[in-house]
Homo-oligomer: A and B are copies of this chain.
């Protein structure tokens, strides 16, 4: 009875909400009380939208992207170039690259990144699925000519990229990675020296 919360139901809701990243107990209380003021059907709708993340989310059998059916809308799109596979860490990366509108190939979602500190080994990632796309091509899924490793520029990303490169080498496929350098709109003054140094070393012809 000497809990901080007047009701165990409220307490459970606050504890659940504050388990989300970036939401502390005070914000969680504010959100829980906001929900409490909504009509019951809104609260139920909210809860069921969350629950369906556990029950109804499906993954593309080609690329492991989340989707509604067997195959995601990208893999199902006959206008996409199946000869290029862009390997990314997660679902959000696919959404980010799609938002650029610059890429017309298909994807492969690893579902994580090699990270010994977090206990994530290569076997925890969907790497075998990627290799089988090279070793067992079919008519709808021809052997790709290029694999783009679109991974983060941190240690885990570099480690994963190196590991994948070693695995892909025997297939003789072209392996590329994202261009690294100064971001568009970036100020030289605030660029880190590693990025700036690499940008100078990998300078490109000026195209006005």
Which residues from chain A sit less than 8 Å from chain B, CB to CB? 1, 4-10, 12-13, 15-17, 19-23, 27, 29-36, 40-41, 43-58, 65-68, 72-74, 90-92, 94-95
Are B22 and A36 interface neighbours, CB within 8 A?
Answer: no
* A48 to B51 Cα, complex, angstroms: 8
Are A49 and B15 interface neighbours, CB within 8 A?
Answer: yes
Residues of chain B with a CB closer than 8 A to A44's CB: 51, 54
Give A20's nearest chain B residue, CB to CB. Answer: B31
8 Å CB contact of A21 from B5, B16, B31, B92 = B31
Q: How many copies does the complex hold?
A: 2
8 Å CB contact of A47 from B21, B27, B50 = B50
Residues of chain B with a CB closer than 8 A to A55's CB: 40
Are B21 and A67 interface neighbours, CB within 8 A?
Answer: no
CB distance from A99 to the nearest CB of B (A): 8
Give A16's nearest chain B residue, CB to CB. Answer: B49
Given contacts A9-B53, A10-B91, A13-B50, 14 further A-B contacts (CB under 8 A): A5-B95, A6-B66, A6-B67, A6-B72, A9-B56, A9-B57, A9-B68, A12-B52, A33-B91, A33-B92, A36-B91, A43-B53, A43-B54, A47-B51
